[in-house]
Amino acid sequence: MSLNRLQKIISESGLLSRRKADLLIKQGKVTLNGRRAILGEKADPLSDHILIDGKDLPKKLNHKVFLLNKPYGFISSCNDNHGRKTILSLIPSHLRHGMHPVGRLDFDSRGAILLTNNGDLTLRLTHPKYSHTKTYLVWLSGQPSQSILDNWRRGILLDGKITRPARIDVLDKVNRKTLIKVILKEGRNRQIRRIATLIGHPVQDLQRISISNINLNGLQEGKWRELKKKEWISIIN
């Protein structure tokens, strides 16, 4: 018998992320052997009967991870009630089942984003405690001073909490704008754009070029590729 926490079993099925599994368990939408499941309890996916919203939990999927170079004008979602283009639409329809984006990129941002059916990978890359880096190339309006950038590096008050230290390198200055490389270990909502506006140098263009050890490496905008297991397995080990 192999026992694991329910939320881990659910995430490994590819149906939901671990965080969403936690929520469904709390809401009473998960049953274990005919009774309401309890958050934190363990089960054996081979012998125990697990239902999600009254439906059998899918058998464990072969984990897949796609790297997509998101273009401007797509939302980081599986679907949209307002009819906007989603990043999932850039993947062939027969490969979309069970896939979800890992984190987000703004509608008006572009670059590296992952899609997967692996709940553990999603958790590791989105939960702050794991501190995986994300790297961005950002064009700012104007030319921020060294002191302004130093303040950003140390941390900026955002939503009542100081941001974690960031690495910021100035790469170019041209025509009243500045290109910087930003490396973060957190990902608050529109964090770079909001900070840039606060310091008086709004973002003109934002591109994410890497997530942890996974880089675009010449992948064209709007294109995707499936990652080999050796490219992502170290993230969850």
Catalytic residues: 106
How many Cβ atoms are within 10 Å of 56's Cβ, its own excluded?
9
Residue 55, number of CB atoms within 10 A of its CB:
9
Dist. CA 105–CA 206, nearest whole Å: 10
What 3-state class would DSSP assign to 33? coil
Query: Going by DSSP bridges, is the β-strand pair 35-36/30-32 parallel, antiparallel, or unpaired?
Result: antiparallel
Confirm if 67 and 112 have CB atoms less than 8 A apart: yes
Structural tokens at position 141:
């309006």
Q: What SS3 state is found at 90?
A: helix
